[in-house]
Structure 1
């Protein structure tokens, strides 16, 4: 499971700046990183297509903007449930101040950005490493790393569900 670091603080205290600084530094170590952001702003706006699909009964909506950016709307699944499945080495969480998840850092003002960034970076370097696990698939041992997102997602899902062996006819 990925290392989780949780940055909280009031609006305009520097949470995003901390995460940007941490990302720039830890990506040098070739770690796969996800950022989970809580917002009070509505992304799925009333009257827009995704909103209309949801209200018509779609359980999942995959929205792609252009060639690269995509968003998955899963109305019945919380972000905090999905965190355990993310195929990464490190997860940075911004917001969700009422939730206890991962190692928590509280920022009170923008003057603390550099100090908190350094603290998070040091903790990541001490506590986290590149994911390296193994699965037996079709009687063959397969290395599972964060470089193979689908395989690591499968591994994480099996771990969350407590599945030790899978076979098919």
Structure 2
């Protein structure tokens, strides 16, 4: 499974700082990193067009402006296993067990916590090794997506039969 780390703490305790430092270090070590920010605010409210599309039956709705937001039903957390990443860092979800939980109490702990995440991530990094038509597929965002999907379904081998 992909490494998932949950950093939680009170407001202004250093959660974002710790995750930002960890992301920079993990990326510099060659990891594909994803980040999830838990918020109590509703961004896809009832009166928005995106919610109207969702209610009409669309399974995935994308709001694309200068930045991009992707909406889909997320009543559970299964989507985390499909994120094409080696490491997923989550800010929040204190009351839910999704990954390794790390509490931060003070912004002065940010560097220490980031280093702890980087160290722990070494143990669970799995290289993507897929063979496509007899050749090892290169490590890429797309291949990580396919790899994580297959891994979440516990598929070990796929053969194409003509």
- TM-score bucket (shorter structure): 0.7 to 0.9
| Matching residue of 1:167 | 160
Distance, in Å, in 2 between the alignment partners of 1:11 and 1:78 is: 25
Verify: 1:95 aligned to 2:92, yes or no: yes
Structure 1 gaps of 5+ residues are none
Q: 1:151 to 1:120 in 2, by over 3 A?
A: closer
Q: Deviations over 1:123-153 (max 9, x none)?
A: 23x3244623123x3x4243252xx222221
List per-residue Cα deviations over 1:57-102 (Å, max 9, x = no partner). Answer: 3222022113xx3222112x34621111111111111111122222
Specify the alignment match of 1:131 in structure 2.
127
Asked if 2 retains the 8 angstrom alpha-carbon contact of 1:4 and 1:103, the reply is yes
Contact 2:128/2:144 (<8 A) preserved? no
Secondary structure in 2 matching 1:24: helix
Structure 1 residues 97-116: Cα deviation after superposition (integer angstroms, max 9, x where no partner): 12222222111232322322
The residue that corresponds to 1:142 in the other structure is: 136
Unaligned runs of 5+ in 2: none
TM-score, with length taken from structure 2? 0.84
Structure 2 Cα separation of the partners of residues 62 and 168 of structure 1: 35
Decide whether the 8 Å contact of 2:128 with 2:147 is kept in 1. Answer: no
- Superposition misfits of 4+ residues, deviation over 6 angstroms: none
The residue number in structure 1 matching 2:70 is: 72
Match of 2:107 among 90, 107, 110: 110
Relative to the length of structure 1, the TM-score reads 0.81
Question: Could you tell me how far apart the structure 2 residues matched to 1:4 and 1:64 are?
Answer: 27
Residue of structure 2 in register with 1:157 after alignment = 149
Partner of 1:61: 61
